Amino acid sequence: MQFSDKIAPLKPSAIREIFKVLGDPSIISLAGGNPAPETFPVKEFQTLSAKLFEENGKNALQYGLTEGYLPLRKKITERLKEKLGIGRDFDETIVVTGGQQGVDLTCKILCNEGDVVLCEDPSFIGALNAFRSYNTRLVGIPVDDCGMQIDKLEQALKKEKKAKLIYTIPTFQNPTGVCMSLERRKALYALAKKYGVIIIEDNPYGELRFHGEEIPTIKSMDEDGIVVYCGSFSKILSPGMRIGFLCAQKEIVSKIIVAKQVNDVHTNLFFQMLTDAYMETYDLDGHIREIRELYRKKCAAMQAAAKQYLPANVSVTSPEGGIFLWCRMPETVDSQKFANRLLRRNVAVVPGMAFSPDDAPSNGMRLNYSMPTEEQIDRAIQQIGEELREILF
């Protein structure tokens, strides 16, 4: 079969392949990006669903507008303004089918084949593959403990004449868990403006801060309409319902609506109405506080276990929120091989290479702490420590 040039080289993601072995309940997975299921508002959704079917069932099952259910859009718009200082007169907020669709369609409407997308290295594989699926070229900018390295970004912008997008997850980055400093956010914005490049700020974890001070979003600085902000209810209500949102200047949003219309017409309307009713009826902020507290404990458990079990030449990041941390092993370690060896110890992780914009080998690996229990975290890190000692010493 002759596939399109843009799709032919794309392979199923490494995460996806690792997911396949996870049917086995004896395996402890630090590999996924799943929120803890105990955080899902099952009872509240059950109550609201009964009411929604009762009072408005026919409308909830009919076709809806591509840009989303208006009362929900209004609530998201207000919330973005209030919590994050996001949204100017020229901006508009729409509902998308998960934050992923926002990233995918933003690339589609802006990038020609051969255009360059600058992204963090390492970065979220789902976004990287979305960019690849439009035949763009990825240029990775190294990440340190303060996020994307801005001097390297400027070097790349000077060099790459076809740079069109900067993709960043500034807050509790996937996969590293680090937060970009305010100074760097400002510098990144200034560079994007100077070089005429659009920023995608992907912020699925932004509300999950459990330590330290809030740092303003890049979109809150967006006086020029050059930031496309992608958000999601996946990590604060439920990922399975696939409800995300996107805020950008109207001209961009109007093209994204056209692209969304031919992509899936609109997002599941019943769950848009359910999310709206949840925000109307319950205390979303209180709910998020509970999630933060849960993840704070789980992250602390993982860091304590890392301190206890990992060799001194292995470091882990110290996330102030989110659901991941990043483990850096000595340079001699090939994380891909290491992840395969760990599977024999019934522990699944995602090796760093999966997050590399240029498929480079990596001595890092991503560890998820939102899904496993504290006890599983302890056991898994102990296994990682033992395996590391076996191969290193």
Tell me how far apart the alpha carbons of residues 143 and 242 are, in angstroms, rounded to a whole number: 29
The residue from 11, 289, 307, 341 that contacts a second copy (CB under 8 A) is: 11
# residues contacting a second copy (CB under 8 A): 80
Q: Segment 197-236, which members bind a second copy (CB under 8 A)? A: 234
**Minimum CB distance to a second copy, residue 135 (Å):** 9
The residue from 18, 28, 130, 166 that contacts a second copy (CB under 8 A) is: 130
φ, ψ of residue 140 in degrees (nearest 5): -85, 140
Q: At what angle do helices 98-110 and 125-132 cross, to 10 degrees?
A: 30
What lies within 8 Å, CB to CB, of 159 at 6+ separation is none
What x-and-dash track marks residues 83-112 binding a second copy by CB under 8 A? --------------xx-xx--x---xxxxx
**Minimum CB distance to a second copy, residue 132 (Å):** 8
φ, ψ of residue 110 in degrees (nearest 5): -105, -30
Is 376 a binding residue for a second copy by CB under 8 A? The answer is: no
Contact (CB, 8 A) for 298 and 380:
no
Is 142 a binding residue for a second copy by CB under 8 A? The answer is: no
Q: Which of 270, 242, 267, 261 is nearest to 61 (CA)?
A: 270
Is 119 a binding residue for a second copy by CB under 8 A? The answer is: no
Q: Which is nearer to a second copy, 49 or 315 (CB)?
A: 49
Residue 359 burial class via C-beta count within 10 angstroms: exposed 0-12, middle 13-18, buried 19 and up: exposed
Torsion from C-alpha of 188, 106, 37, 21, nearest 10 degrees: -100
The count of other CB atoms within 10 Å of the CB of residue 145 is 12
CA within 13 Å, CB half, 358: 10
Is 117 a binding residue for a second copy by CB under 8 A? The answer is: no
Q: Segment 43-62, which members bind a second copy (CB under 8 A)? A: 43, 45-46, 49-50, 53-54, 57-62
Q: Among 155-163, 186-194, 199-207, 267-275, which window interacts with a second copy (CB under 8 A)? A: 267-275
Q: Which is nearer to a second copy, 264 or 331 (CB)?
A: 264
Q: Which is nearer to a second copy, 96 or 377 (CB)?
A: 96
The residue from 167, 205, 229, 270 that contacts a second copy (CB under 8 A) is: 270
The type of residue at 275 is: T
Six-digit token string for 168: 């960043």
**Minimum CB distance to a second copy, residue 163 (Å):** 12
Contact (CB, 8 A) for 29 and 368:
yes
The residue from 82, 145, 190, 261 that contacts a second copy (CB under 8 A) is: 261
Tell me how far apart the alpha carbons of residues 32 and 125 are, in angstroms, rounded to a whole number: 12
The count of other CB atoms within 10 Å of the CB of residue 53 is 13
Is 312 a binding residue for a second copy by CB under 8 A? The answer is: no
The type of residue at 200 is: I
**Minimum CB distance to a second copy, residue 376 (Å):** 17
Q: Which is nearer to a second copy, 254 or 346 (CB)?
A: 254
Q: Which is nearer to a second copy, 114 or 212 (CB)?
A: 114
Q: Segment 231-260, which members bind a second copy (CB under 8 A)? A: 234, 237-242, 249, 251-252, 254-255, 257-259
The residue from 12, 142, 212, 330 that contacts a second copy (CB under 8 A) is: 12
What x-and-dash track marks residues 15-44 binding a second copy by CB under 8 A? -x--x------------xxxx-xx-x-xx-
Six-digit token string for 191: 């560079």
| Dihedral-angle region of residue 384 (phi above 0 means left; psi in -120 to 50 means alpha; beta otherwise) | alpha
Contact (CB, 8 A) for 250 and 257:
no
Helix (H, G, I), strand (E, B) or coil at 90: coil
The residue from 189, 271, 324, 338 that contacts a second copy (CB under 8 A) is: 271
Is 181 a binding residue for a second copy by CB under 8 A? The answer is: no
Q: Which is nearer to a second copy, 120 or 378 (CB)?
A: 120
